[in-house]
Structure 1
């Protein structure tokens, strides 16, 4: 067993997309659109107080569970949610995430801010930021395909 510990961290990732804020918001808020760049949710209730839940992982690897609750939604502008991440039966982090969607010329400036408590060394802020950056790049590729 790892020694009990908590590492607190905040990271920010900024992306520019050649899509309108409405299109970027739709990619976050519609279950079919989101499933094209983020693991498909078993439960997707995009509303304040609603949940998003999915689990999965690499073949023959650990199963990760993402369990989110939407705290604030401002259409085409801001999404705030809290979530837990588990690896198997082990809670590895608890986070609050803010997604800001802003008009930038003919495109969108997205600001993703995550404040996390990373538990017992099972996950690190650096790993989470790397994975989140890959996820936001996948969103950008998906938006470019449209």
Structure 2
């Protein structure tokens, strides 16, 4: 029998982008724009109560599933969503994310806060933070 465990963690990532909050928000809200820096969604319903869903993985490797629900959206200011992540048929985490867009003199300060429950040693907060930083860096390159 596998040992069951949960590790709770919160991490915050800050990024500065030389683009307006409207442009950065649109990179999250528009499915074709988001697909340039985030795995392409099979379902993309950007509205409160809407769902975002995708799955995939490396050839011969495990299949990862991202299944999110939008909890709160304030255009150009804030996005709050909850999501679960599965690896093959096993749930590896459940999280709540808040993305904040703040206007600065040179563009936008983005604050990404994730509060997660990482399950059964199948995922770790450090891995998730590392992967999220890489995605936000890719967003910066696209902007």
Give TM-score scaled by structure 2 length: 0.99
Secondary structure in structure 2 of the residue aligned to 1:133? helix
**Pairing 1:116–2:109 present:** no
Map of 1:44-55 to 2, 5 A cutoff?
44-55=44-55
Q: Which runs of 4+ in 1 moved over 3 A?
A: none
The residue number in structure 1 matching 2:5 is: 5
The residue number in structure 1 matching 2:25 is: 25
Give TM-score scaled by structure 1 length: 0.97
The residue number in structure 1 matching 2:73 is: 73
**Pairing 1:35–2:35 present:** yes
Q: What residue ranges of structure 1 are gaps of 5+ in the alignment?
A: none
Secondary structure in structure 2 of the residue aligned to 1:36? coil
Q: Deviation of residue 54 (structure 1)?
A: 0.2
Q: Deviation of residue 34 (structure 1)?
A: 0.1
In structure 2, distance between residues paired with 1:37 and 1:134: 10
Per-residue CA deviation, residues 24-47 of structure 1 (Å, 9 max, x unaligned), is 000000000000000000000000
Instruction: Figure out how many residues of one structure are paired with residues of the other and give that number.
Output: 143
Secondary structure in structure 1 of the residue aligned to 2:126? helix
